[in-house]
Amino acid sequence: MTSTPSTILVTGASVGFGAAIVRTFAKDGWRVIAASRRLENLNALRDELGANVLPYALDVTDPVAVDGLLSALPKDFAQVDVLVNNAGLALGLEPAHRASLEDWDRMIATNISGLVHCTRALLPGMVERKRGHLINIGSVAGEFPYPGGNVYGATKAFVHQFGLNLRADLLGTGVRVTDVAPGLSGNTEFSKVRFGGDEAKAAKVYEGTQPLQPEDIADAVHWVATRPPHVNINALQMMPTVQAFSPFAVARETKGSA
């Protein structure tokens, strides 16, 4: 752990990566604000880990709720050193011309606007204290396109570029920014959410693989957060060993077709 007890705020803390990140930092003695919509899950984390975990009901798509976040925090938790912008989701895997516009809007509202609003709310305090770290959960989907990844992948490309642009703005402030970009990861609700609650379809995504686990991502987040203050990890991309890249796809006319 770093020299003084530090405070971390994790969005999307109720399950998956977020809950694992809460566990890792709480066990390392940090004060942890665990934020997401499902308060009962966050309360269970507090019961499991102790009073250094503060459950906080938050919908990142609600700008008023995000704006009120800082002033609502108790004094002990109000100086946030690390913000992990983890709340996010993918909806659907349809090609762009058949995808739901409503799904697209919700991904943009959560993965982009939610992340931007949380960042804007906490950044001034970090700059004032000359101490802070924004850790954004991107994805390999932000760099590598795949069929059906359309808006989801584009939101994660935004996460990556926003982080780099923040670094340009924050030069000289001491505030760090990192994009942690995982690939195929199991034991979360990600695919269940993507497929509208269809557990069987979600399970197929991981069949016969050994995907990354939430603890692997929590470990990476902890590592980037505990580098010495003069070290900024710009991006950390990770995949399970069973995942790699495909060749370019080429559409060919069959002989005889016009």
- Residues forming contacts to ligand NDP in the complex (CB under 6 A) are 11-18, 36-38, 58-61, 86-89, 110, 114, 137, 139, 182, 184-185, 188-190, 193
Reduced to 3 states (helix: H, G, I; strand: E, B; else coil), residue 194 is helix
Taking the C-alpha atoms of residue 258 and residue 254, their distance in angstroms, rounded to an integer, is 9
Taking the C-alpha atoms of residue 191 and residue 208, their distance in angstroms, rounded to an integer, is 16
Taking the C-alpha atoms of residue 189 and residue 50, their distance in angstroms, rounded to an integer, is 25
Q: How far is the CB of 35 from ligand 8X3 (least distance, A)?
A: 20
Beta bridge partner(s), residue 134:
83, 177
Q: How far is the CB of 135 from ligand NDP (least distance, A)?
A: 12
193, interface contact from ligand 8X3, ligand NDP, none, CB < 5-8 Å by kind: ligand NDP
Q: Which is nearer to ligand 8X3, 80 or 141 (CB)?
A: 141
Contact 136/21 with Cβ under 8 angstroms?
A: no
How far does CA 72 lie from the centroid of its chain? Answer: 23
Q: Please report whether residue 139 would count as binding ligand 8X3 according to CB under 6 A.
A: yes
Question: Of residues 15, 87, 118, 141, which one binds ligand 8X3 by CB under 6 A?
Answer: 141
The residue range among 12-20, 124-132, 133-141, 166-174 that interacts with ligand 8X3, by the rule CB under 6 A, is 133-141
Nearest residue to the partner ligand 8X3, using Cβ: 139
Residues 6 or more apart from 154 whose CB is under 8 A from it? Answer: 142
The residue range among 74-82, 135-143, 165-173, 229-237 that interacts with ligand 8X3, by the rule CB under 6 A, is 135-143
Site string for ligand 8X3, 164-203 (x = CB under 6 A): -------------------xx-------------------
126, interface contact from ligand NDP, ligand 8X3, none, CB < 5-8 Å by kind: none
Taking the C-alpha atoms of residue 35 and residue 119, their distance in angstroms, rounded to an integer, is 14
DSSP 56: E
Phi first, then psi, for residue 142 (nearest 5°) are: -80, -15
The radius of gyration of the chain from alpha carbons, rounded to an integer in Å, stands at 19
Taking the C-alpha atoms of residue 212 and residue 187, their distance in angstroms, rounded to an integer, is 9
Q: Is 206 a catalytic site residue?
A: no
38, interface contact from ligand NDP, ligand 8X3, none, CB < 5-8 Å by kind: ligand NDP
Active site residues: 152
